[in-house]
Structure 1
Amino acid sequence: MKPYKIGYTQGVYDMFHIGHLNLINQAKALCDYLIVGVNSDQLVERYKNKTPVICQEDRRTIVENIKAVDQAVIADTLDKTEMLQALGFNAVFIGDDWKGNARWIRTEEELRRFGVDVVYLAHTPDISSTALRKATEQTGSTACVEET
């Protein structure tokens, strides 16, 4: 039996890569039903000050077609309490590279009041959409993370 009935994770998922897939698969291993929030184009523009390469509907379609994903939704907020009220989950999954971050410490405290756990999952090292974007802009080449 998995520890959580409904899990939630959220991200941009622009230039989808193996780190995204690893996190989604780890999250699904811990819950019966996994909802993935795909940050809207407007949300990404507001907090990252950049426009996604792939539009939100295409990113949602990519994510919803991953075997481990039970439901993909467009997320217009980073506020996990707001997402909890809309979706009703038992756990939020996030990469462990965010552990100790002030925003996530506050999120843990807020969600704890509702009995929701924040679960930090192993972050895939040396891969990010930002790194991929920089690598392709500088060299025109592709990036691949070797399995170890």
Structure 2
Amino acid sequence: MKFKLRYFLEKDFKDYQRLIGDPEIAEPSGMKILENPFEQWMAFKGMLGRQGFLAIADEDDHVIGGVFFFDQQEINHYELGYLLKKNYWNQGIMSKAVYFAIKNFEKQKTGTLRLSASVFEENVASSRVLEKNSFQKSSRKTTSVSGYNGQLKSEIQYEMIIKGLE
């Protein structure tokens, strides 16, 4: 399936609402479902046109997912997040989207960058996306609270070092 990575546009809001409101996407990612349209809009508005927040669009330009780089407190450290509509899972789309998003991201930044990602232990497909993109699995496991249902879950930590522009 062909897809493209691009910045989020205002016209994507309805697609975004469907994406973040889907329990089958929210549960494995630990994402809290925002039910209030105002909260949904505020979360969406914060991504519009920003570097590091990329929409995955299908051939009809509908948003089917996203790849996100969240700035961390430590300088040049970013946490990677991603989500994809369930009917597009297991097709290699997210592995490719993450690859191209990282290539794009490193062209926008300077110096040595540390990317990290956390995956719930049972989310094997998400771990595979990271491993295909040369992330290194950490020996340490952490426990986190799922934003989806408030349950404690074991997480696997991944890291990658990339070089931005010099």
Task: Say yes or no: TM over 0.5.
Answer: no
Classify the TM-score, shorter chain: 0.3 to 0.5
Q: Larger strand proportion, structure 1 or 2?
A: 2
TM-score computed with the length of structure 2 as normaliser: 0.31
Q: TM-score, normalised by structure 1?
A: 0.34
Flag the structure with higher helix content: 1
